[in-house]
Each structure stands twice: as C-alpha cells, then as structure tokens.
C-alpha cells in the first residue's frame, strides 16, 4: 500500500501525510513540482522525526511517477468521484492518490486512475483537509488489507 501526493502545496499537510505513512507502514510518493522547496530540511521540519521512518519516493514529474511507480491499482481520492470509499474493496498493492490542496488533479491525472473515491459529506461542504481525507481512506484501506491489525 502506498500514498501518492500529487504536487503538494502546503508543507504541514505533506508532513502530516509523511507521519501517517510512517505510523501505518505505508510508503509515500511525492510527485513534483511541489508548492514549496522540496528538500531534506523542509521535509524534516514538516514531518518532524517521522521523515526518517517513512519509505519515501520522490518523482520529478507525473510522467516519472507513472514510469517508476509500484505495481497495483491507482486509486484517486476526489470530491468529484461517484464511488464512496467505505464501499470499495482495497488491495494491499493499491496506491492512493491525493491532489493538490489548491487545485486537486488535472483531468489527465484523473483519467489515469483505476478508480476514484470520495468521502461523503453534508450538502454544501466543499472538501476536507487533504491530510485528513488521506487518513480516513488510508485507515479503511489498512483495516481491509491487514486483518492482523484489527
């Protein structure tokens, strides 16, 4: 299981997702360009001491990510998706993909996904924080694929 961050904008959100990956033993893919300087110093500051504990892959572009990514399905988290994450059957080799905090993902990225999932919300709510959304869906994916953690 992996979590891919498409062109993340906000260092604290990236740090929170790195910490999430470290705590759940889930690899993280960061897809450039980021909205902040991508450096060891910036990641250490955003992720505190958890940055050293996560399996991190850095990709210089979307195309590089597609060429280098782990096998398995690519699952997009999107407010525009029709399917709800709680009814989806996750697999251990899935990669969950979250978009930019300010813009989501472009159509070409959404079209590359094998599935798109949303978190149900009350009418009028636009979206959750990307790190919170990732935690909710990743928690369900881990619950389904690691019965020994239950």
CB contact at 8 A, 24 and 51: no
DSSP calls for 73-123? -EEEE-TT-SEEGGG----TT-EEEE-BTTTB--HHHHHH-SEEEE----T
CA pair distance 145, 127, nearest whole angstrom: 26
Query: What mean pLDDT value characterizes the chain?
Result: 92
In the block, tokens 């505190």 appear at 48
- The correct answer on CATH 3.40.50.10490 for the domain covering 2-149 is no
Q: Domain coordinates of the chain in residue numbers?
A: 2-149
pTM score, two decimals? 0.93
Cβ distance 63 to 86 under 8 Å? no
Residue 42 predicted with pLDDT over 70 = no
Decide if pLDDT at 53 tops 90: no
> CA-CA distance, 119 to 110, in Å (whole number)?
16
Confidence of residue 43 (pLDDT cuts 50, 70, 90): low
Within 8-62, strands assigned E span 27-31, 56-59
Each residue's pLDDT tens digit, 123-147 = 999 889 999 999 999 999 999 999 8
Write the pLDDT tens digit of every residue in 54-89.
Answer: 899 999 999 999 999 989 999 999 999 999 999 999
Is the pLDDT higher at 139 or at 15?
Answer: 139
Higher per-residue confidence, 40 vs 36: 36
Instruction: Considering only residues 140 and 37, tell me which one the structure prediction assigns the higher pLDDT.
Output: 140
User: 15 and 130 in contact (C-beta within 8 Å)?
Assistant: no
Q: What is the mean pLDDT of residues 21-29?
A: 95
Confidence of residue 45 (pLDDT cuts 50, 70, 90): low
């Amino acid at each position: 299981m992996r979590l891919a961050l498409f062109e993340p904008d906000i260092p604290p959100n990236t740090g929170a997702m790195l910490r999430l990956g470290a705590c759940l033993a889930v690899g993280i893919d960061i897809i450039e360009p980021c909205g902040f300087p991508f450096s060891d110093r910036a990641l250490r500051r955003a992720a505190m001491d958890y940055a050293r504990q996560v399996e991190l892959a850095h990709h210089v572009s979307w195309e590089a990510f597609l060429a280098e990514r782990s096998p398995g399905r690519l699952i997009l988290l999107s407010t525009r998706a029709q399917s709800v994450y709680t009814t989806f059957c996750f697999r251990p080799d899935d990669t969950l993909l979250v978009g930019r905090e300010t813009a989501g993902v472009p159509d070409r990225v959404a079209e590359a996904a094998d599935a798109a999932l949303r978190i149900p919300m009350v009418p009028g709510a636009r979206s959750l924080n990307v790190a919170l959304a990732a935690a909710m869906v990743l928690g369900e994916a881990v619950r389904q694929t690691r019965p020994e953690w239950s």
